[in-house]
Amino acid sequence: MEKVIERAYKTSRSNKLRRGFTIGFIIILIFVLILSSVVIYILQRSLPETKGEIVLAGINEPVSVIRDKSGTPHIEANSPRDLYTAQGYVTAQDRLFQMDLSRRLASGQLSEVIGEATLDRDRFFRTLGLRRAAERSLDQYSEEARNVLNWYTDGVNAYIKEAIDKNKLPPEYTILDFEPKKWSPVDSLTIAKYMAFDLGGHWEGQAFRHYLVQNFPEEKALELFPAYPDDGAMIISEAKNNPVNIEESLASAVIPDPFNGSNNWVVSGQKTESGLPILANDPHLGLGTPSIWYETHLKTDRLNVSGVIFAGIPGIIVGHNEQIAWGVTNVGPDVQDLYIEKRNPNKPDQFLYKNEWEEAEIIKEPIKVKDGATVDHQVTITRHGPIISEFARYKEEDTALALKWTALQPSTELEAVLRMNQADDWSSFKEALTYFHTPAQNFVFASVDGDIAYRANGLIPIRSKGDSLLPVPGWTGEYEWEGFVPWEELPTIVNPSKGYIATANNKIVDDDYPYHITHTWAQPYRQERIVEILSGIGPLKTQEMKELQMDKYNLQAEEMVKILLPKMDPLNLSEREQQAYRLVGKWDYIDRKESGAPLLFHLWMYAISDQLFEKQIDPKMMKFFDGRAQVVDELIRGADQGKSSIWMKEAGGITEVATKAFQQAVSEATTLQGKDIEDWRWGKYHSLLFEHPLGSTSPLQLLFNPNEVEVGGSRVTVMAAGWSKKTGKVNHGAAWRTIVDLANIEQSQNIVGPGQSGHVLSTWYDDQVLDWANGTYHTTSINKRDYENGHQLKLVPSN
């Protein structure tokens, strides 16, 4: 009986536990459902209205906004005022949080809404002074351009007010607990200045080489220079005698991605099926959610232009109208110089110049910090520019580094953009470029008249002495800028006999060109592959251009594998390493996502760099190593040709370096993807992640980050797909791809990755992720009959 009672008790207790568990589970489930419903309600409430009618203050007549299947807004207005006001409003509908974050990043105002974590970044950008440069630029614009900025600003602010009043701000604002401030014309110009920063100018390379000459014998340091500097012995001596502690003073500096660049090309009618030119462009910048690019079509009775712009700026920077098309890549010239400044030990705000002490300009830049005290940041500006070597340390040294840079001067890029949008031939387009100063860009051009052209355009300094390889003495007056390369002498090509023009951040001038551009060009592989295809037998069509933009043939691998594999003795490798050796040996050099050979090759190239530098160069300095990939390529080529190299010799010689690096790569691949080499796959490691700014924080990545997709390509293929060595995630490449056949200029073939909208619940948030990975283009038309069935929104004046 006791056992029966005991069993009954246990059964009863078990049933109570089950009931308790069931009730608890139901309560939790109900809570989760309620919470999910609240979250979905908040998200849906903030979705932009894309249909119906909205009253928009600031416009005089109704404006039509039709979003096509890809979410691209086609904005049609009766006046420029209404057009650009609507552009500001519509862009803010889709991208307000991105615009807000962009202006804060460039202005050094992130800490105000994020907190202490971004303080060093804010100090750096406050010191650079992109916003100060934007403020000085505003007065340089024509009345027409300032009107455009003001109208665009009115549209953005109309949406900000509406979103706040109706409690429909994007969800990121709720998560970070702040509201956007009013937009201003300077905000737009500051974002434009940030793009000049993102496309660089090689100051970090000068800082790195300064570190080299302080820490290594001269001959050894010079091996990592792209060229021997003019007046080399003198400049090196000055660097040694007036050292700046780069490791400590600049460790927190923000360095743009070294692979920021692009592809563009234009083919004349003599090589195309249509008999008119075809133009293609795919700018390479950071990949994230939302896209750095915003596709838009703008139309009035005098304007009909389509393409992309950075969210927060009016107009179209890359695209086409009814007569012309154009695309850009980065020239990457030396437009930044570091000057070693000598400080007065008795008066730290004075610096020596030609035997006299000059007062520096001191600017107070207090930085507000969320949940913290305001930081009293101070910027010191010499005749050459801001002192950047003390932005994070507040330690005044006897010597410091000041940065001189074209982008810190007033400039008028938006003026150029607005004039480019209205140009109708090469002459008017070239004239518009007189207003485009920074960053210097390689423009390719095509017109319905059949012309194709190229121009490297922007301000490129002429130096009285030196060539921008090392920081130079700021106190002697010998190393000043004497002006800029004359506009009429900038590299230009019109209608070449070969029938095509292509650039991929490659060297654009020969040794006879009379002016210095830079010593640090991109690796040549993308350019060589593009030329290889375009120089072939035609006729070429749009489809071939798409295939070329998605081309994954790795010319670096073709060159390096043929050098490195014969240097190794497979008998000295383990069984798995021998398998890997054979895998690379039979590879066709295409960076396919399904293949294991690309994984091994790219890890191998990283490992070679590690073998050469890891034990000798301070890890904090590696991000400053401008042109590192090119230097490694040259050291390998030199060793293959029997040239002596201190770095290669100290690492054991080319055979030992190649073998140890290969073994390291095999070990890393095994750790990543297991012992069975047949299971290795490039795409499994090299996966596309369009990460949202909040997507690195768990669990927000589940909400904001699109699903990952395996992709092929690499940094050196025409289909550019740069990645993080730490994670393998693809984070860099062509967020915008476009192809325009001038025979059908009303339409263009495009991809905007991951999509048009910045709102997580939008249909167009991440609908182009697979398109980006697979090369599936959408058609954008500037003829209303092709998009009139889209989402129709009418903006009407408030009166």
Partners of 376 in beta bridges: 366
Residue entry with tokens 């737009």? 188
Q: Which of 9-18, 168-177, 202-211, 309-318 has the lowest mean pLDDT?
A: 9-18
Residues 78 and 23 occupy one common structural domain: no
User: Averaged over 135-141, what is the pLDDT?
Assistant: 98
Task: Tell me whether residue 207 is in a domain.
Answer: yes
Residues 36 and 174 occupy one common structural domain: no
Compute CA distances 338 → 318, 359, 618, 692, whole Å.
32, 19, 21, 34
Task: Tell me whether residue 765 is in a domain.
Answer: no
**What's the pLDDT at 680?**
98
Confidence class for position 34, pLDDT limits 50, 70, 90: low
Task: Tell me whether residue 393 is in a domain.
Answer: yes
Q: Distance between CA 351 and CA 242 in Å, rounded? A: 14
Encoded amino acid at 25, one letter? F
Residue 77, SS3 per DSSP: coil
Residues 168 and 87 occupy one common structural domain: yes
Q: Distance between CA 527 and CA 333 in Å, rounded? A: 17
Q: Distance between CA 142 and CA 394 in Å, rounded? A: 40
Upstream peptide bond of 699 is cis (omega within 30 degrees of 0): yes
Give the other-Cβ count within 10 Å of 730's Cβ: 28
Residue 1 has pLDDT above 50, yes or no: no
Q: Look at residues 359, 374, 408 and tell me which one is the last residue of a structural domain.
A: 408
**DSSP conformation letters of 151-175:** HHHHHHHHHHHHHHHTT---HHHHH
User: How does the average pLDDT of the chain come out, rounded?
Assistant: 93
8-state DSSP, 323: S
Distance, C-alpha 672 to centroid of its chain: 28
Residues 250 and 167 occupy one common structural domain: no
Residue 25 has pLDDT above 90, yes or no: no
Task: Tell me whether residue 462 is in a domain.
Answer: no
91 and 312 Cβ atoms separated by less than 8 Å: yes
Residue 632, SS3 per DSSP: helix
**What's the pLDDT at 28?**
61
**What's the pLDDT at 630?**
95
Around 100, how many Cα atoms within 13 Å sit in the side-chain half-sphere? 25
Specify the length of the chain in residues: 799
Residue 234 has pLDDT above 90, yes or no: no
Residues 92 and 210 occupy one common structural domain: no
Nearest one of 549, 747, 773, 769 to 68, comparing CA atoms: 747
Partners of 445 in beta bridges: 326, 453
* pLDDT tens by residue, 584-642: 999 999 999 999 999 999 999 999 999 999 999 999 999 999 999 999 999 999 999 99
Partners of 426 in beta bridges: none
Q: Distance between CA 109 and CA 131 in Å, rounded? A: 11
Residue 61 has pLDDT above 60, yes or no: yes
Task: Tell me whether residue 498 is in a domain.
Answer: no
Q: Distance between CA 41 and CA 62 in Å, rounded? A: 31
Residues 165 and 210 occupy one common structural domain: no
Tokens describing residue 221: 């340091």
For 369-385, b where at least 16 C-beta lie within 10 A, e where not — what string?
A: bbeeeebebbbbbbbbb
Phi, psi of 387 (to 5 degrees): -75, 115
**What's the pLDDT at 244?**
83
Q: Looking at 402-523, list the stretches that DSSP marks H as alpha helix, in order from N- to C-terminal side.
A: 413-422, 426-432
User: Averaged over 535-542, what is the pLDDT?
Assistant: 91
CA-CA-CA-CA torsion sign (386, 391, 397, 403): negative
Nearest one of 613, 589, 616, 619 to 602, comparing CA atoms: 589
Torsion of CA 47, 50, 54, 56, to 10 degrees: 90
Residues 561 and 585 occupy one common structural domain: yes
Q: Distance between CA 794 and CA 540 in Å, rounded? A: 41
**What's the pLDDT at 10?**
46
Q: Distance between CA 399 and CA 472 in Å, rounded? A: 12
**What's the pLDDT at 333?**
95
Confidence class for position 703, pLDDT limits 50, 70, 90: very high
Residue 5 has pLDDT above 50, yes or no: no
Nearest one of 740, 717, 739, 734 to 772, comparing CA atoms: 734
User: Averaged over 408-413, what is the pLDDT?
Assistant: 97
404 and 385 Cβ atoms separated by less than 8 Å: yes
User: Averaged over 682-702, what is the pLDDT?
Assistant: 95
Residues 35 and 57 occupy one common structural domain: no
Q: Look at residues 408, 424, 453 and tell me which one is the last residue of a structural domain.
A: 408
Confidence class for position 21, pLDDT limits 50, 70, 90: low
Q: Look at residues 644, 663, 680 and tell me which one is the last residue of a structural domain.
A: 680
Residue entry with tokens 């994954």? 552
Residues 568 and 649 occupy one common structural domain: yes
Instruction: Quote the percentage of the chain above a pLDDT of 70.
Output: 94
Confidence class for position 42, pLDDT limits 50, 70, 90: low
**What's the pLDDT at 9?**
39
Which domain CATH number covers 100? Answer: 1.10.439.10
Encoded amino acid at 106, one letter? A
HEC sequence for 752-783: ECCCCCCCCCCCCCCCCHHHHHHCCCEEEECC
Residue 36 has pLDDT above 80, yes or no: no
**What's the pLDDT at 754?**
98
Q: Distance between CA 502 and CA 83 in Å, rounded? A: 34
Burial of 619 (0-12, 13-18, 19+ CB in 10 A): exposed
For 460-470, b where at least 16 C-beta lie within 10 A, e where not — what string?
A: bbebebbbbbb
Nearest one of 287, 330, 292, 299 to 313, comparing CA atoms: 292
Q: Distance between CA 347 and CA 358 in Å, rounded? A: 10
| Dmax (CA) of the chain | 109
For 32-70, b where at least 16 C-beta lie within 10 A, e where not — what string?
A: eeeeeeeeeeebeebbbebeeebebebbeebbbbbbbeb
CA-CA-CA-CA torsion sign (522, 525, 526, 531): positive
548 and 642 Cβ atoms separated by less than 8 Å: no
* pLDDT tens by residue, 710-755: 999 999 999 999 999 999 999 999 999 999 999 999 999 999 999 9
Q: Distance between CA 59 and CA 346 in Å, rounded? A: 59
Q: Distance between CA 664 and CA 6 in Å, rounded? A: 64
User: Averaged over 260-264, what is the pLDDT?
Assistant: 89
Domain total of the chain: 4
Compute CA distances 140 → 151, 309, 435, whole Å.
18, 21, 10
Task: Tell me whether residue 753 is in a domain.
Answer: no
Tokens describing residue 772: 């980006």
Task: Tell me whether residue 536 is in a domain.
Answer: no
Confidence class for position 6, pLDDT limits 50, 70, 90: very low
Residue 387 has pLDDT above 60, yes or no: yes
HEC sequence for 434-445: HHCCCCCEEEEE
Confidence class for position 242, pLDDT limits 50, 70, 90: confident
Nearest one of 653, 606, 601, 720 to 262, comparing CA atoms: 720
* Residues contacting residue 732 through CB under 8 Å, at least 6 positions apart: 257, 259, 260, 284, 285, 286, 287, 715, 720, 721, 722, 723
Burial of 743 (0-12, 13-18, 19+ CB in 10 A): middle
Residue 309 has pLDDT above 70, yes or no: yes
480 and 366 Cβ atoms separated by less than 8 Å: no
**What's the pLDDT at 40?**
67
Q: Distance between CA 83 and CA 95 in Å, rounded? A: 18
* pLDDT tens by residue, 65-114: 999 999 999 999 999 999 999 999 999 999 999 999 999 999 999 999 99
Residue 117, SS3 per DSSP: helix
Residue ranges making up the domain that contains 674: 555-589+596-680
**DSSP conformation letters of 338-402:** EEEEEBPSS-TTEEEETTEEEEPEEEEEEE--TTSPPEEEEEEE-SS-BB-TTTTT----SEEEE
Residues 170 and 227 occupy one common structural domain: no
Residues 163 and 210 occupy one common structural domain: no
Residue entry with tokens 């780069």? 246
Tokens describing residue 705: 């980050």
Task: Tell me whether residue 315 is in a domain.
Answer: no
Which domain CATH number covers 210? Answer: 2.30.120.10
**What's the pLDDT at 586?**
97
Residues 61 and 167 occupy one common structural domain: yes
Instruction: Quote the percentage of the chain above a pLDDT of 90.
Output: 86
**What's the pLDDT at 41?**
64
**What's the pLDDT at 247?**
83
**What's the pLDDT at 356?**
97
* Residues contacting residue 759 through CB under 8 Å, at least 6 positions apart: 43, 46, 47, 48, 94, 170, 765
Tokens describing residue 73: 């807004």
Tokens describing residue 560: 């390096």
